Amino acid sequence: MAVTAGSKVLNNVEAVRETLYEAMKNDDRTIILGEDVGARGNVFLITKDFINEFGPQRVIDTPIAEASIVGIAIGMAMEGLRPIAEIQFADFIYPAFNQIVGEAAKTRYRSNGEYTCPLVVRTPYGGGVRGALSHSVSIEALFYHVPGLKIVAPAFPADIKGLLNAAIDDPDPVLFLEHKKTYRLIKGEVPEGHYTIPLGKANVLKEGAQLTVVSYGLYVHWALEAANALANEGTSVEVIDLRSIRPMDRTTILNSVEKTRKLLIIHEDNKFGGIGAEISAMVAEEALFHLDAPIRRLCAPDVPAMGYAEPLEHEYMSSPAKMADAMRELVRF
Amino acid sequence: MATTITMPQLGETVTEGTVAQWLKKVGDTVEKYEPFLEVSTDKVNAEVPAPVTGVIKEVLVKEGDTVPIGTAIAVIEEQGSDAAAAAPQPAAVSAPATNGHARTENVVAAPPNTAGVEEALRMASPAVRKLAREHHIDIRTLRGSGANGRVTAQDVLTAAAMGPAAAVGQAIATGTNFGATPPPAFAAPSAPPASGTSTYGEPIPGTVIPLNQARRIIAERMVESKHTAPHAWSMVSIDVTNVWKWRAKEKDRFERETGYKLTLLPFFMRAVVESIAAFPLMNAKWTAEGIYVNKDVNLGIAIGLPTTLIVPVVKNADKLSIKGLAIAAGELIDKARRGKLGADDLAGGTFTVNNNGANGSWASAPIINAGQAGIVTMETVEKKLLVRDDDSFAPRFVMNSCLSLDHRVVDGYVASGFLADLKKRLEKMGADGTL
């Protein structure tokens, strides 16, 4: 891969590591706290050796107590620090739900703007790694209903760096979701130095004329693969990487749907009440008379969890082939 | 048990109805409340729901025939009764051979879209409907390229690109709301020959657009009015700057509070009813016995829809404020666009207002609604330099208003007095008024 000057090739986990490292280096107010983030250097080695360089005051190993991790981080944030709290796996975030939804998201409102909560909660999510019931979950739909909370789920290393920087700079709480299957699978050029990508801005990865596909996370890569396969069949599919789940980039989605007149939403999370439900409601409200086909959602089945057994995991997860089939069907409609 | 269906009364003053289209034929099953025929009167068209669930046993009135209210038009054999259990099969067999013999083949082997006009409409997506409306194309005449012969948005755009003449022809033939028999499938105009120039040889035959009920009625009314009422015509130019500014000031709040847009129409209507009060002869009609002067002031509003013209009536318009007129007119226009006007919405007009300026018309000579003394138009509002009495000049919003009058009922003296009065009232309206 030819590397552009001023860039280097990183995988997703390295992009997270580099961004966190620069944030620690550039701003003494930055604190990292979570389970195993210190001595162990995070289970994916994202913060390896951070504790040696920045000390245990800024890289804090916490007990296995997610409510405390977020609760303490909220206090730090309200008093002027820039905490980055880590939930080791998104599956463990539930004890912190009250802190995130009940406290962090409402701080600015409750204090009439006197306090803000510049907090980032990072967490690896998603399946396809034989992670079974407690290491595979997608949690975005549980949180995206909440005003006051921003949610980001980037898919590419350069987006991870730009959006994580934006999340750290943001004066309000941001839930930062990292798809764990993409950690070492996805590589890409990342510009050096500090830069941000605005929260709430989607990215049109591939322009097309016959169908709009909206996705995020791991599935963006598969959707792109499927769309490229369809291009070889002479079918033109537009692929949008949502990047930010909330705020949602309504303009980019609506512009695309008004052009292609058909919409397929693909996500790994299950269908009922998922991100796709909001997108389709929005499009139905704003662009009904541009639609030439029913909006389709390709999502996980409504079952309580991703199974461990390989056939169960396969059944739960989508694939480039399944996505290509759904795209073909909708283009044909 | 057999239930006899009679011609329903669609509106208080209606005495007869025409069977526009049978939506079901003998042998078909109908659900209770399912529309099974379309009836048109001189005022309105409506789908008639079945009063019971059952099988159509007999159809007593042909499409296009007009019968008095209460005449038996069909018999439905109610489901569940002994007779009904046996009825469907024989009925189906006795149905016309065109429907009966090839039913299975139709389903399997029919080319796209011959499966049925209704199917084409049912499967028409919002985008297809919108594009078809914009390009005046009848979806039912297109050959769909989508799954199962569905007409796609691209199909509509392709048809539109083939030429406005075909598109307009298709539009006129549509008459969607009026139960028209669908026109024979339009052969898509073939592409010009790849080689060579066009030659003037054999004339190319044109196409006949079958008349639907609405088109027939419009034609009859126009001829009747133009042939019986001697039309005279006059026009004034009105400075509407003040009322225009007043409207601009109020319109956002008005729309927020009422849900209806505030246009110039209700201001104009208000001025018209006030001028009618001053010139009651404008609210009259010619009869053999004498000139009949109406006491009620019921203002018709001419609304042009893509394929038809319809004139709903604001009753007792002289009793309504500008706000009341805006809401009443807004409701009627909304109903008209959705094809939901009932017979009573269309009855009883005594004078008509035609907002003709939306597309930039500067003057027009409207045809009087038969049975009235006049019709007055609002033409386009333009910014112009006006020279005032003291020779100063200023940019002002100016609108022409044209009046056609039945010269049997009123003469130029009354008509020009009415127009001058209307002009004076509109120019006096201003932002200090109450809506």
Q: Is residue B201 assigned to a domain?
A: no
> Could you say which residues from 157 to 216 on chain B have a Cβ atom under 8 Å away from some Cβ of chain A?
none
Q: Are residues B158 and B266 in the same domain?
A: no
Amino acid at A19: T
Write down the pTM of the prediction. 0.54
Compare all CA atoms of chain B with the CA of A290 and give the residue at the minimum distance.
B127
A131-135, A199-203, B34-38, B255-259, range with greatest mean pLDDT: A199-203
Would you say residue B165 has pLDDT above 80?
Answer: no
Q: Are residues B352 and B379 in the same domain?
A: yes
Q: Are residues B288 and B321 in the same domain?
A: yes
List C-alpha distances in Å: B92 to B57, B58, B96, B192.
10, 12, 9, 46
Q: Which of A211, A286, A289, A329 is the best residue to mutate to test the B interface, defined by the most B CB atoms within 10 Å of its own CB?
A: A289
What mean pLDDT is predicted for residues A152-161? 98
Q: Of B8, B18, B10, which is closest to residue B64 (Cα–Cα)?
A: B18
Tokens found for residue A285: 């409200």
Would you say residue B95 has pLDDT above 50?
Answer: no
Gap between the Cα atoms of A50 and A22, Å rounded: 11
Q: Are residues B318 and B374 in the same domain?
A: yes
Would you list the DSSP string of B390-427? TS-EEEEEEEEEEEEEETTT--HHHHHHHHHHHHHHHH
* Interchain CB contact of A201 with B (< 8 Å): no
Gap between the Cα atoms of B65 and B89, Å rounded: 28
Tokens found for residue A240: 């949008």
Tokens found for residue A63: 């007990």
Residue pair A165/A135 in contact (Cβ under 8 Å)? The answer is: no
Boundary (domain end) residue, out of B142, B174, B206: B174
Q: Is residue B418 assigned to a domain?
A: yes
The neighbouring-strand residues paired with A61 are: A34
Burial label for B126, CB within 10 Å (0-12, 13-18, 19+), is: middle
- Angle of helix B265-278 relative to helix B241-258, nearest 10 degrees, comes to 120
Confidence of residue A320 (pLDDT cuts 50, 70, 90): very high
Chain CA centroid to CA B330, Å: 15
Contact A293 B126 (CB under 8 A): no
Q: Are residues B94 and B150 in the same domain?
A: no
* Interchain CB contact of A67 with B (< 8 Å): no
* Interchain CB contact of B326 with A (< 8 Å): no
Predicted confidence at residue B168, as pLDDT, reads 39
Q: Are residues B278 and B153 in the same domain?
A: no
Q: What is the mean pLDDT of chain A?
A: 96
Enclosing H/E stretch for B234: strand B231-239
Would you say residue B401 has pLDDT above 90?
Answer: yes
Q: Within 10 A of B258 (CB to CB), how many other CB atoms are there?
A: 13
The 10s digit of each residue's pLDDT in A33-79 is 999 999 999 999 999 999 999 999 999 999 999 999 999 999 999 99
Q: Are residues B140 and B265 in the same domain?
A: no
Boundary (domain end) residue, out of B89, B109, B129: B109
Q: Are residues B248 and B305 in the same domain?
A: yes
Q: Are residues B138 and B12 in the same domain?
A: no
Q: From the CA of B149, how many Å to the nearest CA of chain A? A: 9
Sequence-separated contacts (24+) of A276-283 with Cβ below 8 Å: A276/A214, A278/A144, A278/A248, A279/A214, A279/A248, A279/A253, A282/A248, A282/A250, A282/A253, A282/A254, A283/A253, A283/A254, A283/A257
Tokens found for residue B166: 């075909």
Confidence of residue B209 (pLDDT cuts 50, 70, 90): confident
Boundary (domain end) residue, out of B109, B126, B152: B109
Q: Are residues B127 and B268 in the same domain?
A: no
Give the number of domains in chain B: 3
Predicted confidence at residue B356, as pLDDT, reads 85
Q: Is residue B264 assigned to a domain?
A: yes
Contact B130 A289 (CB under 8 A): yes
Tokens found for residue B97: 């051979």
Q: Is residue B202 assigned to a domain?
A: no
Confidence of residue A174 (pLDDT cuts 50, 70, 90): very high
Q: Are residues B272 and B345 in the same domain?
A: yes
The 10s digit of each residue's pLDDT in B233-245 is 999 999 999 999 9
Compare all CA atoms of chain A with the CA of B124 and give the residue at the minimum distance.
A292
Compare all CA atoms of chain B with the CA of A331 and give the residue at the minimum distance.
B146
Q: What share of chain B is helix, strand, coil (3-state, %, to 5)?
A: 35, 25, 40
Q: How many CA atoms lie within 13 A of B22 on its CB side?
A: 18
What mean pLDDT is predicted for residues B421-431? 91
Any idea what the CATH number is for the domain that residue B16 is in? 2.40.50.100
Would you say residue B184 has pLDDT above 50?
Answer: no
Would you say residue B9 has pLDDT above 80?
Answer: no
Q: Is residue B71 assigned to a domain?
A: yes
Decide if the complex's ipTM is over 0.90.
no
Enclosing H/E stretch for A239: strand A237-241
Q: Are residues B105 and B120 in the same domain?
A: no
List C-alpha distances in Å: B201 to A77, B165, B197.
86, 20, 12
Q: Is residue B401 assigned to a domain?
A: yes
Q: Is residue B192 assigned to a domain?
A: no
Q: Buried b / exposed e across A161-197, counting CB within 10 Å, b at 16+?
A: bbbbbbbbbbebbbbbbbbbbbbeebbbbbeeeeeeb
The neighbouring-strand residues paired with B377 are: B354
Q: Is residue B199 assigned to a domain?
A: no
CB contact set of A226 (below 8 Å; sequence gap of 6+) = A237, A320, A321, A323, A324, A327
Confidence of residue A117 (pLDDT cuts 50, 70, 90): very high
Parent domain of B15: 2-109
> Could you say which residues from 99 to 138 on chain A have a Cβ atom under 8 Å away from some Cβ of chain B?
none
Domains of chain A: 8-191 (3.40.50.970), 203-332 (3.40.50.920)
Residue pair A11/A183 in contact (Cβ under 8 Å)? The answer is: yes
